[in-house]
Structure 1
Amino acid sequence: MSLLSLPWPGLRPVATSPWLLLLLVVGSWLLAHVLAWTYAFYNNCRRLQCFPQPPKRHWFWGHLGLMTPTEEGLKNSTQMVATYSQGFTIWLGPIIPFIVLCHPDTIRSITNASAAIAPKDDLSIRFLKPWLGEGVLLSGGDKWSRHRRMLTPAFHFNILKPYITIFNKSANIMLDKWQHLASEGSSRLDMFEHISLMTLDSLQKCIFSFDSHCQERPSEYIATILELSALVEKRSQHILQHMDFLYYLTHDGRRFHRACRMVHDFTDAVIRERRRTLPTHGIDDFLKDKAKSKTLDFIDVLLLSKDDLAQLPFLTMCVKESLRLHPPAPFISRRCTQDIVLPDGRVIPKGIICVITIIGVHHNPTVWPDPEVYDPFRFDPENSKQRSPLAFIPFSAGPRNCIGQAFAMAEMKVVLALMLLHFRFLPDHTEPRRKPELIMRAEGGLWLRVEPLNVGLQ
């Protein structure tokens, strides 16, 4: 290869090659980027000093391990919220800061921001994409806006009204199973298992018009969903496994790949079956058949008027207080694509990930007096008048709130009313331990003892 002679002032000509020139260019480019990143990092560190910070667990690992997905991690989080009631900074390792917000006044600037200014951060959703794809839950930008506009009309309350009958039928299948188990002496039941199956049954019937009979036989699908949830949460706690090429070489990575394939095959089979039957059984015929088979029991009588679910005010208060204590999604995160100014004048720098701790807002003693006490009357209309709308956000808030919250609230009220109509529920001797994964769960299940009410009347 020919050599180039480069004259340098005061030095003899130096012979070099094109490869050395390329190396110098690449090295200069890398050095410039490292210097730019270093400047931005230290500038952000300086700007983050206005946010308090709990003591670090380790000089290098920072606060890693402080807010683990365990009962102890939730208790640590609650203690930090009580100490830093507006919000605080935590560090995952030496270079990744998070701002944790836990008060309605501080989360307002994030929840009210557009989806372009405060999108979901890639760090939290990247692990979910092989499983859930890029639908309305995980997508961003124009794709998310388009999907959201398409789906919003499908979740209008008037559209949901015909689904009440489906909720009713799915709940009755579950209650019949409980009646059978109680008659055989099995009165101790895992509520999480049974409610999950009933919910899956309702969703498949409402969304796909598909009856999988998942409540009558073991569901591999539910077991796989729980496995995926646990694997995603476990991966988030191990920094080295954040790299895809390393993760998929591990045993957990191979399990995750197999589980994704299983749930995708299940969903594809449901869609194929619905596409096969749709041309011969149109949507109108489906809804007419459902209306004909409606059973006139306690709930159906209540649900005949337009404002049907409003006739269950105390049950609604109980549901909301339960969601306050144990929100389905304990945390959500957003990445700031520009500086965001909080009401008190502090600034969240561009590029920082904000964690809105929903469970922290709901347990913040400056927002909710005696936050650990179960008191449904907190949600009495008179008591709610002066409260910030952002004090209670079990389904998130702002433009990326949960699109299915009306669906979920309607199903919860219908199913709970039927459960309380037929059974008495007693606490089990096992103390439940919370386990926040993708959703809030109970470690080892949520066990209650059930007694059919007709037994007590005899």
Structure 2
Amino acid sequence: MIVVLWLTVALCVIVHWLYRVNKDYYIMAFFSRRVRTKDGRPVESIVPVPKGRTIFANCLDLYGKDHAGVFSYSRELSQRLGESYLQYGMGLPIFNIIDAENAENILNHPKLITKGLVYDFLQPALRTGLLTSTEKKWHARRKMLTPTFHFNILGQFQEIFQAESLKFVQQFQSQDESIVSLSDLIPRFTLNSICAGVFSYSRELSQRLGESYLEYGMGVPLLNIIDAENAENILNHPKLITKSLVYDFLQPALRTGLLTSTEKKWHARRKMLTPTFHFNILGQFQEIFRAESLKFVQQFQSQDESIVSLSDLIPRFTLNSICETAMGVKLDEMAEKGDRYREGIHMIEMSFIRRLSNPLLWNKTIYNWFAAKTYDAFLKTVHEFSSEIIAKRRILLEEELEHRRSTQTADDDIFGSRKKRFAMLDTLICAEKDGLIDHAGICEEVDTLMFEGFDTTSIGLIFSLMNMSLYPEKQELCYKEIEEHIDDNFDNLDNNQLSKLKYLEYFIKETMRLFPSVPIMARQTIQETELANGLILPERSQITIHIFDVHRNPKYWDSPNEFRPERFLPENCQNRHTYAYIPFSAGQRNCIGQKFAMQEMKTLIVVLLKKFRILPLIDPKTIVFNVGITLRTQNNIQVKLVRRK
């Protein structure tokens, strides 16, 4: 009893002493490795450091918040501080970036390519593919995959985009008017209560602080960036390529692919994959994009108007497109498995948010003991689906090679051939034969490419179609432009004609400014790192770039919450900070498939607008955002499709 009493007294004395030493940061922040400044000034003279809710710094700031609450918290903090800020959590500093200057610094930094630790949460599903890998593995995979996004290959996808778009529209053409649920078209993993709370927390903090800010949680500094200057600083920093610790939550799913890997692995994978996104290869994909878009629209053509729930249709469209273009496998006979795959991704995202909002589950051992088994079946579904895709493509590729051998046909240039369509997966299979990657590595990159290829694009399409309905005068400008350049039978719907649709591109860009598919991205330091703004971040500091807040920062955007595609006219972009608009990230770890995504989105929108007018069924003021791997809403977003006469 006496021992317990003395221990209690000692604990109280220690807590009181720590409080006297630093009343804002408290216990966990005191034991974290602290961010310093180059000239010895107080950190607070460069970035604000909002105090946490408890004596454990910022560790528990998100605890108990639902999805909207977490998103709102971050947004409010960014708006209140008005600049990038620093936090401390889980024994690590977290630098939150909301300005273009810091975003440019970070995204262009040659050593800041390692994803933040939150990406580890994705590895059970995505493993260590292009999204989660780093260093040599990422560089090798990126180099391997880049040619698969060559312009010629993307052109082949246009047929699929067009067919899917037409199939999508066809279901509404039997009606004069249709109400379409956009929310149902996005993947079936809208996360309601928890996601909304997380997003609300982040948003509220950003709005309240109004600048990038520093937090401390779980023993680490957490730097939150909401300005372009700090974003530039981070994204361009040569040593800041490692993703933050939350990306570890993705590793059971994505493993260590291009998204979650770092260092040598990331460099090697990036180098390997980059040629697969070459202009010529992307051009080959246009045929697929066009065919898939036409097939998509066709299902609505029997009605004059339709109220359509898009939550099932759009993800199916984008999943079909990514599988046929990047993987070289049609899903016609695997539609049911594709639905189970999307449901598995939904549950994996729930696991990610659960870990993100509960600091106790950040520890891998605790997570594996108490939570991981719940999601094992979904991980198995996701990985079995990707493995089947790989197996099917191996067979198809071997049959093609055998045919070439039997006919003594020389191999065509994969970037220029129109006889045989190139699949991005072919790059990985051929690299395996050359000893540059093994089967496990192929699985990592396929998991990553499929996840990023269908999910983020579907989010972009959802919000683009919603904005088409909300702004009819701008929809009409897009339609007139399409009428001028695209034939009614879509025979000329290729990359050359798509490039002429300038206003449509501005429209999509403005949509991605207000509704970036990935609202937050994160990095972490792997050694003590000095930033251009004078901050010295200790090893394992967490840096969060709040793209959602950078894109709405009034420092760079006049009336930032207004929808104005004209912002992206060349004359209006001249004096704007380059890193004020980063929907596809920036620097050496920028999105490898951004041209692929834009091409696919343009194709479906072209086919839809050719066939239908899009009318609104939602008040944008009622939208509640959820945090997730990608941007979500709690709302069931619907539009009405009215067939054009």
Give the alignment's TM-score, normalised by structure 1. Answer: 0.80
Map 1:357-368; keep pairs closer than 5 Å: 357-368=546-557
Determine if contact 1:427/1:448 at 8 Å carries over to the other structure: yes
Could you say which residue in structure 2 is the equivalent of 1:143?
265
Distance in structure 2 (CA, Å) of the matches to 1:228 and 1:287:
38
Letter in 2 for 1:41: R
Could you say which residue in structure 1 is the equivalent of 2:79?
82
1:188 positional shift: 2.6
Determine if contact 2:243/2:260 at 8 Å carries over to the other structure: no
Determine if contact 2:63/2:359 at 8 Å carries over to the other structure: no
Letter in 2 for 1:145: H
Distance in structure 2 (CA, Å) of the matches to 1:236 and 1:87:
21
Larger CA deviation: 195-204 vs 240-249: 240-249
1:269 positional shift: 1.0
1:126 positional shift: 1.2
Select the residue among 365, 369, 384 that pairs with 2:558.
369
After superposition, the C-alpha distances for 1:115-148 in whole angstroms (9 at most, x for unaligned) are 3511333512211111112222211111111111
1:60 positional shift: 3.1
After superposition, the C-alpha distances for 1:209-268 in whole angstroms (9 at most, x for unaligned) are 211128966711111112212221222111122233332333x42232111111111111
Determine if contact 1:204/1:210 at 8 Å carries over to the other structure: yes
1:343 positional shift: 4.1
Could you say which residue in structure 2 is the equivalent of 1:131?
253
Could you say which residue in structure 1 is the equivalent of 2:220?
none
Letter in 1 for 2:520: F
Select the residue among 94, 98, 105 that pairs with 1:102.
98
Residue 174 in 1 paired to residue 166 in 2? no
Determine if contact 1:327/1:358 at 8 Å carries over to the other structure: yes
Secondary structure (helix, strand or coil) at the match of 2:299 reads helix
Distance in structure 2 (CA, Å) of the matches to 1:86 and 1:72:
21
Secondary structure (helix, strand or coil) at the match of 1:54 reads coil
Select the residue among 301, 319, 322 that pairs with 1:200.
319
Determine if contact 2:516/2:583 at 8 Å carries over to the other structure: yes
Question: Are residues 225 and 351 of structure 1, via their aligned partners in 2, closer, same or farther at CA, if it must alter by over 3 Å?
Answer: closer
Determine if contact 2:36/2:536 at 8 Å carries over to the other structure: no
1:414 positional shift: 1.2
Question: Are residues 383 and 298 of structure 1, via their aligned partners in 2, closer, same or farther at CA, if it must alter by over 3 Å?
Answer: farther
1:391 positional shift: 0.9
Distance in structure 2 (CA, Å) of the matches to 1:422 and 1:73:
40
Distance in structure 1 (CA, Å) of the matches to 2:340 and 2:505:
33
Could you say which residue in structure 2 is the equivalent of 1:321?
510
Distance in structure 1 (CA, Å) of the matches to 2:495 and 2:594:
21
Could you say which residue in structure 1 is the equivalent of 2:624?
433
Distance in structure 1 (CA, Å) of the matches to 2:111 and 2:529:
13
1:442 positional shift: 2.4
Map 1:296-375; keep pairs closer than 5 Å: 299-303=490-494, 305=496, 308-375=497-564
Could you say which residue in structure 2 is the equivalent of 1:288?
419
Determine if contact 2:253/2:379 at 8 Å carries over to the other structure: yes
Count of equivalent residues: 408
Distance in structure 1 (CA, Å) of the matches to 2:253 and 2:31:
37
Letter in 1 for 2:44: Q
Letter in 1 for 2:563: Y
Secondary structure (helix, strand or coil) at the match of 2:241 reads coil
1:333 positional shift: 1.0
Larger CA deviation: 394-403 vs 132-141: 132-141
Letter in 1 for 2:48: P
Determine if contact 1:191/1:448 at 8 Å carries over to the other structure: no
Percent identity over paired residues: 27
Could you say which residue in structure 1 is the equivalent of 2:339?
219
1:299 positional shift: 4.5
Determine if contact 1:129/1:138 at 8 Å carries over to the other structure: yes
Distance in structure 2 (CA, Å) of the matches to 1:288 and 1:445:
43
Distance in structure 1 (CA, Å) of the matches to 2:509 and 2:502:
11
Select the residue among 38, 42, 49 that pairs with 2:44.
49
Secondary structure (helix, strand or coil) at the match of 2:300 reads helix
Larger CA deviation: 238-247 vs 389-398: 238-247
Residue 446 in 1 paired to residue 438 in 2? no
Structure 1 unaligned spans of 5+: 1-36
Letter in 2 for 1:170: E
Could you say which residue in structure 2 is the equivalent of 1:60?
56
Question: Are residues 204 and 169 of structure 1, via their aligned partners in 2, closer, same or farther at CA, if it must alter by over 3 Å?
Answer: same
Distance in structure 1 (CA, Å) of the matches to 2:569 and 2:355:
41
Question: Are residues 270 and 337 of structure 1, via their aligned partners in 2, closer, same or farther at CA, if it must alter by over 3 Å?
Answer: closer
Question: Are residues 114 and 230 of structure 1, via their aligned partners in 2, closer, same or farther at CA, if it must alter by over 3 Å?
Answer: same
Structure 2 unaligned spans of 5+: 1-28, 113-238, 402-410, 423-485
Determine if contact 2:70/2:627 at 8 Å carries over to the other structure: no
Distance in structure 2 (CA, Å) of the matches to 1:351 and 1:48:
17
Larger CA deviation: 110-119 vs 62-71: 62-71
1:47 positional shift: 5.7
Select the residue among 385, 408, 417 that pairs with 2:606.
417
Could you say which residue in structure 2 is the equivalent of 1:242?
362
Determine if contact 1:193/1:445 at 8 Å carries over to the other structure: no
Question: Are residues 432 and 298 of structure 1, via their aligned partners in 2, closer, same or farther at CA, if it must alter by over 3 Å?
Answer: farther
Larger CA deviation: 337-346 vs 282-291: 282-291
Determine if contact 1:105/1:343 at 8 Å carries over to the other structure: no
Question: Are residues 115 and 415 of structure 1, via their aligned partners in 2, closer, same or farther at CA, if it must alter by over 3 Å?
Answer: farther
